[in-house]
């Protein structure tokens, strides 16, 4: 996997576009299976939550809030839940406010159905006010690139450009890498294996380019895979494709420590714990390892070496939805 991920990242950096993850026939079958899975329950639709944009942590001392922006696709939006407080943005904003003991202003510019080539537009929205550059951004992207057969080099090139623009503007960036499409319940073997392979290879390549631009990554695919397999009814939403509220909370708990570490709020943020199998690895090896193991963080470029960390998950405080100031009728299009 490390070799393939390295080739994809190199192709993205040097303009290659012909590196594929699977043969065209296999990808076509995979796409058909995924579309069938999306239609298998509730007509392939999932509810859209109200926009969670607004202020969180207003109980803390009045001071300038931390500005937090979420970019990406339907997973970043929180499609599949019905309450703003159940979305990843609201969960992470609440958790960040509790750790920082400071208000957090959340803005979600993610779009359902987005692929990595939409990140340029989303970054422009995030940076449109030069006086209000985000302190930290979370990007969750990749599943639609796989299902729409976007060349992986193009996908990671777009992600690298987005991370670079945000970092140049002064924002910290955390990327939740491509989820494991092999966890979609109606996708059967052997396509389940192929879906997992494609997802992990893209996730590893995303890690290489995101960390190379100064961001941090958290593996979401391997995090949710075993838990979805063990609890599909609890962790999948009503369309059997998007996560449920419990599934989003599981992902948010994995991302929160890295989000806090990016802002210097986590104790011993970048110290290594050998008892948790943390260490310094070449970036491609770390990316491959992260794609295989639940909630693994990769950060901190030091030449060709990076930090591989397994942070302890922190239970999220319940978000106070009344703090979100956006109108509850605002929905994002599919």
Q: Is 242 a catalytic residue?
A: yes
DSSP 80: T
Positive or negative torsion for Cα 285, 71, 127, 325: negative
Residue 31 burial (C-beta neighbours within 10 Å; 0-12, 13-18, 19+): middle
Token representation of residue 25? 């026939």
Residue 190 burial (C-beta neighbours within 10 Å; 0-12, 13-18, 19+): exposed
Instruction: Report the C-alpha gap between 146 and 150 in whole angstroms.
Output: 6
Instruction: Report the C-alpha gap between 99 and 90 in whole angstroms.
Output: 14
Token representation of residue 124? 């422009």
Determine which one of 53, 73, 222, 239 is catalytic.
Answer: 239
Edge-to-edge order in the sheet of strand 305-309 = 54-56, 104-108, 66-72, 136-140, 172-176, 216-218, 297-302, 305-309, 279-282
Determine which one of 116, 222, 242, 244 is catalytic.
Answer: 242
Instruction: Report the C-alpha gap between 120 and 160 in whole angstroms.
Output: 10
Length of the chain, in residues: 334
Residues 6+ apart with CB under 8 A from 82: 47, 49
- What angle do the packed helices 88-100 and 245-262 form, to 10 degrees? 40
Determine which one of 74, 94, 155, 199 is catalytic.
Answer: 74
Token representation of residue 72? 């990406």
Q: Is 74 a catalytic residue?
A: yes
The helix or strand, by DSSP H or E, that contains position 242, with its residue range, turns out to be: none
- CB atoms near residue 79 (< 10 Å): 26
Residue 111: strand pairing partners:
none
Q: Which residues are catalytic?
A: 74, 239, 242
């Amino acid at each position: 996997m490390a070799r393939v991920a390295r080739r994809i990242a190199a192709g993205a950096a040097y303009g290659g576009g012909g590196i594929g993850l699977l043969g065209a026939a296999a990808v076509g079958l995979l796409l058909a299976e995924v579309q069938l899975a999306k239609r298998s329950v509730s007509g392939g639709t999932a509810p859209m939550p109200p926009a969670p944009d607004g202020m969180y942590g207003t109980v803390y001392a009045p001071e300038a809030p931390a500005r937090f922006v979420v970019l990406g696709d339907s997973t970043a939006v929180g499609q599949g839940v019905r309450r703003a407080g159940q979305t990843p943005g609201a969960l992470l904003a609440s958790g960040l406010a509790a750790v920082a003991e400071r208000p957090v202003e959340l803005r979600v510019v993610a779009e359902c159905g987005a692929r990595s080539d939409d990140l340029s537009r989303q970054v422009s929205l995030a940076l449109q006010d030069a006086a209000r550059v985000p302190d930290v951004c979370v990007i969750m992207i990749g599943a639609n690139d796989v299902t729409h057969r976007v060349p992986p080099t193009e996908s990671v090139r777009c992600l690298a450009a987005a991370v670079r623009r945000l970092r140049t503007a002064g924002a910290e960036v955390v990327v939740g890498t491509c989820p494991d499409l092999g966890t979609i319940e109606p996708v059967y073997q052997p396509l389940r294996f192929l879906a997992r392979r494609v997802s992990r290879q893209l996730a590893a390549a995303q890690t290489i380019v995101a960390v190379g631009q100064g961001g941090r990554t958290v593996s979401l695919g391997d995090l949710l895979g075993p838990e979805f397999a063990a609890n599909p009814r609890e962790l999948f939403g009503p369309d059997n494709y998007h996560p449920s509220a419990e599934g989003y909370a599981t992902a948010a708990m994995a991302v929160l420590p890295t989000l806090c570490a990016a802002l210097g709020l986590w104790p011993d943020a970048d110290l290594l714990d050998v008892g948790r199998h943390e260490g310094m690895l070449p970036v491609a090896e770390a990316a491959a390892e992260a794609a295989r193991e639940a909630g693994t963080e990769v950060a901190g470029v030091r030449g060709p070496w990076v930090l591989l960390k397994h942070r302890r998950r922190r239970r999220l405080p319940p978000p106070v939805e009344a703090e979100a100031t956006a109108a509850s009728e605002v929905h994002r299009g599919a």
